[in-house]
Structure 1
Amino acid sequence: MTRNAVWALSNLCRGKNPPPEFAKVSSCLPVLSRLLFSSDSDLLADACWALSYLSDGPNEKIQAVIDSGVCRRLVELLMHNDYKVASPALRAVGNIVTGDDIQTQVILNCSALPCLLHLLSSPKESIRKEACWTISNITAGNRAQIQAVIDTNIFPVLIEILQKAEFRTRKEAAWAITNATSGGTPEQIRYLVSLGCIKPLCDLLTVMDSKIVQVALNGLENILRLGEQEGKRSGSGVNPYCGLIEEAYGLDKIEFLQSHENQEIYQKAFDLIEHYFGVEDDDSSLAPQVDETQQQFIFQQPEAPMEGFQL
């Protein structure tokens, strides 16, 4: 009977078109907060799903969920050995960190980052993807929150995911990296570069998903902007990150994006080349082919002449 009641309660909190009237469904928050301590996995799962629905929305809804006192228990449930509990708990935590920096900090104060690091190694791709999404909302926060992610050693794992995971998970990892380059300090951005974030960002420039191409371009632009400042400060005028992007065949890919059908992408590509590289290359031999999955372009690496390059 209790299971059926909690399942029904969860469904009453669900829906977006139209969403349930929050003033009415939020009255169940005290009950849900108590249900989070049940030993029944089915009850736990439905309670977590209900909280994920209630926290999916504007900051006012998120604050109501926070005020119910469920955050610490939700973070604890991230480590539950049953995926059907950990998954909705992760969704609820992820929704809460879409709020403002103060709301995000509530979750961080519950020691969520070590749990998220653990989930990045989950055997379930859906959990890894959701963990990356949650982290991307944390790295969209303030510099202290970005530093907390650094201190938990999450970024090395994110960059590995950016290189090797399924595309849907790589997308979320890309957001996490680019968000950190957008709001991070120069030292934090240099740290990301030292971990090798440039090449996997360059690799994303060839995917068919226009939004992710823009995310990768934005991340590279943030890195190049820092490099320009460093070049001016050192007096050399040399941007140290231009060479790293060229070594990753990123310049070839950015040049190709100047003919992209998306106006924002080709304009961004043009601006990056004009501002940071100052080169124009109309070498048609660099034109890419499309891979078998129709999801990504393949760039041919230029071959050296048989007699070697003339220096």
Structure 2
Amino acid sequence: MVLDDNDFLPHLLMLFNVNRTVIIENLCDAIVNITAGTESQIQCLYLDADKIKERVACAIRNSTRFSSTQTKYLVDEGVIPLLCDLLRSSETKIIEVVLEGLQNILGWGVAGSKQIQNSNPYTILIKELNELDKIEELRSHRDNEVASRARYIIETYFDIH
């Protein structure tokens, strides 16, 4: 029905011409207005926690694909402990996306450590957080993609076979 509405698509296209700050401000205003409403209106804000976790993991994974600078910023902001915590999810898709994100981060760590003839700071951080065991554990995950990616991370970045 929304797509059949001739007025919808032009409004949607307008979003691409608007400053992102304006969009974020409008989104915040909408949330403020909803939270000022009734209990049932506020309840609409509570989404499925696993869906939110998956979206967060996807955003992090996507943000760590192309830039060592952006990846370093995210790591400095505490993204590795967050990702490692998400490895405990019961949702296979979340674990898979998290492992992809960690693989991206660890790859940038290798590139950066070669430039300064040093160890990968991101592998060191994962070890310091005592999260290496969790990744090792995932090598025997029931999902082949998760198990394969966990094995790759362990063998490539931690030199454990």
Q: Which interval holds the TM-score relative to the shorter structure? A: 0.7 to 0.9
SS at 2:111 equivalent: helix
The equivalent residue for 1:262 is 143
Please tell me whether residue 114 in structure 1 is matched to residue 25 in structure 2.
yes
Pick from 233, 236, 240: which aligns with 2:121? 240
Match of 1:295 in 2: none
Offset at 1:253?
0.7
Instruction: Pick from 80, 84, 87 the counterpart of residue 202 of structure 1.
Output: 84
Evaluate the alpha carbon distance shift between residue 231 and residue 119 of structure 1 in structure 2; reply closer, same or farther with a 3 A threshold.
farther
Q: After the TM superposition, which residues 284-303 of structure 1 pair with which residues of structure 2 at under 5 Å, given as runs?
A: none
Whole-Å separation in 2 of the counterparts to 1:231 and 1:119: 44
Aligned mates of 2:116, 2:43 — CA distance in 1: 44
Residue 130 (structure 2) pairs with residue 252 (structure 1): no
- 2:101 maps to which residue? 219
Report the Cα distance in structure 1 between the residues aligned to 2:83 and 2:90, rounded to whole angstroms. 14
What are the within-5 Å matches in structure 2 for residues 1-311 of structure 1? 13=1, 25=4, 28-29=5-6, 32=7, 51=8, 65=9, 68-72=10-14, 105-106=16-17, 108=19, 111-116=22-27, 124=42, 127=45, 166-183=49-66, 185-236=67-118, 238-280=119-161
Name which structure has the greater RCO, CA cutoff 8 Å, separation 6+: 2
Give the Cα–Cα distance (whole angstroms) in 2 for the partners of residues 275 and 218 of structure 1: 13
Separation of aligned partners in 1, 2:60 and 2:91: 17
**How far off its partner does 1:267 sit?**
0.7
Q: Please state which structure has a larger fraction of its residues in helix.
A: 2
Structure 2 Cα separation of the partners of residues 177 and 120 of structure 1: 23
Provide the C-alpha distance between the structure 2 equivalents of 1:264 and 1:223, rounded to a whole number of angstroms. Answer: 18
Give 1:195 deviation, angstroms: 0.6
Classify 1:267/1:120 alpha carbon distance in 2 versus 1 (closer, same or farther; 3 Å): farther
In our comparison, the structure showing a higher alpha carbon Rg is 1
| TM-score scaled by length of structure 2 | 0.80
CA distance in 1, matches of 2:19, 2:84: 31
Aligned length in residues: 154
- TM-fit CA distance, 1:235: 1.4
- Gap change, CA 1:112 and 1:128, over 3 Å in 2: farther
CA distance in structure 1 between the partners assigned to 2:89 and 2:140 by the alignment: 14
TM-align CA RMSD = 2.8
Distance 1:108 1:193 in 2: 27
Deviation (angstroms), 1:244: 1.1
Q: What one-letter code is carried by the residue in structure 2 that aligns with 1:214?
A: E
TM-score with structure 1 length normalisation? 0.44
TM-superposed CA distance for 1:196, in Å, is 0.2
Give the 3-state SS of the residue equivalent to 1:235 in structure 2. coil
Cα displacement (A) at 1:111: 2.4
Structure 1 residue 223, shift from structure 2 partner: 0.6
CA drift at 1:250: 2.3
Shift of 1:211: 0.6
